[in-house]
Amino acid sequence: MTARHVPVLLDEVMAALALGTGDVFVDATFGAGGYTRAALARGVGRAVGLDRDATAIAGSTIDDPRLMLIEGRFSVMDRLVGDRGIAAVDAVAMDVGVSSMQLDTADRGFSFANDGPLDMRMGSDGPTAADFVNGATEAEIADVLFRLGDEPKARRIARALVNDRPFHRTAQLAAVVRSVCGPQPGGKDPATRTFQALRIHVNDELGELEAGLRAAERLLRDGGRLAVVSFHSLEDRLVKTFFRDRSGSAPAGSRHRPAVAAAAPTFTKAARAVRPSPHEIDRNPRARSATLRAATRTSAPARG
């Protein structure tokens, strides 16, 4: 039986979004609908649940006429929502981590804990992890493992994968990585970084996040709120940089790098980053690496 996905930083996300009666809310990473349930309980006038994973949409158990479900990527949320007659919204929540349902379903191939097909796709389109591992060059694999997984043994792992391929199962891949890396301090599974890097690459998670932030900027009305929960330092850096740039808080130029004319801020300065309490981490260990950043939309036009 798969674990029910527990929404991370739920109270903090709801506080950041400050939802009011009649607001239009977009849950850009619907999953099991945790943020959406909370938003509906707070009296929003309309909620849109968006997810690229068809099983998340089909598996929703929320029965509320105010909810509209859309299968699609949040990188184009403004188009998907706009095509359904909603020009602007009051709040957007984005939880950009992989869901518990995806991790705990062996057939999805996200986890080395249970053997399954080496897939890792959050949706149903595009190449799988097996396609990449079996077709990429050693250098390409090493680059992904080092850049997206911060794996210090990326070259050795890539060499072993190329020598032992083809790979079709998660257990097969994990075994090779473990044989290269050996035991890790603290008992961490040696395959963790490799699986993380492949998942991020297969789903273009960083590219999707960058595009999703810009799509939310286009979709939010003046005074609308954007809350983003990330689980990886690369993701959090993208969110932090986006809010800093869009709020006009980026460092000024120097005599070596003169400042350019600044565009009008599209967001207010982001609130201080929020992380889970020890109590939440005890209750939901997968929340450990979460970081919440939030800001409010200004009246300035979205940037091109």
Q: What is the DSSP annotation of 119-182? A: ---SSS-S--HHHHHHHS-HHHHHHHHHHHH--TTHHHHHHHHHHH----BHHHHHHHHHHHH-
3 is a domain residue: no
**DSSP conformational letter for 299:** S
The predicted structure's pLDDT at residue 103: 59
Choose one of 160, 180, 202: the last residue of a domain: 202
Reported as a single tens digit per residue, the pLDDT across 218-271 is 999 999 999 999 999 999 999 999 999 999 876 655 556 555 567 899 999 999
Judge if 177 and 253 occupy the same domain. no
How far apart (Å, rounded) are the C-alpha atoms in residues 104 and 141? 25
The predicted structure's pLDDT at residue 253: 56
280 is a domain residue: yes
The predicted structure's pLDDT at residue 187: 73
Judge if 95 and 215 occupy the same domain. yes
**For the sheet containing 291-296, what is the strand order?**
67-71, 46-51, 24-27, 89-95, 220-230, 291-296
The predicted structure's pLDDT at residue 13: 98
214 is a domain residue: yes
111 is a domain residue: no
Q: In which domain, by residue range, is 275 found?
A: 10-101+205-296
Q: What is the CATH number for 230?
A: 3.40.50.150
pTM equals: 0.91
Strands (DSSP E) found in 183-296:
220-230, 291-296
Judge if 215 and 95 occupy the same domain. yes
User: How many structural domains compose the chain?
Assistant: 2
The predicted structure's pLDDT at residue 261: 61
Judge if 209 and 198 occupy the same domain. no
The predicted structure's pLDDT at residue 99: 60
Neighbour-count burial of 131, counting CB atoms closer than 10 A to its CB (0-12 exposed, 13-18 middle, 19+ buried): middle
Judge if 170 and 193 occupy the same domain. yes
Choose one of 158, 175, 202: the last residue of a domain: 202
Judge if 129 and 97 occupy the same domain. no
- Residue 59 dihedral angles phi and psi, to the nearest 5°: -90, 5
77 is a domain residue: yes
How far apart (Å, rounded) are the C-alpha atoms in residues 137 and 148? 16
The predicted structure's pLDDT at residue 100: 58
229 is a domain residue: yes
Choose one of 138, 171, 202: the last residue of a domain: 202
The predicted structure's pLDDT at residue 304: 76
Judge if 277 and 227 occupy the same domain. yes
Judge if 186 and 142 occupy the same domain. yes
The predicted structure's pLDDT at residue 123: 83
Judge if 129 and 167 occupy the same domain. yes
Residues of the chain with pLDDT under 70: 1-5, 99-107, 109, 250-261
68 is a domain residue: yes
2 is a domain residue: no
Q: What is the CATH number for 198?
A: 1.10.150.170
Judge if 198 and 209 occupy the same domain. no
Judge if 85 and 152 occupy the same domain. no
Residues 210, 214, 216, 218, Cα dihedral to 10°: -170
Judge if 225 and 94 occupy the same domain. yes
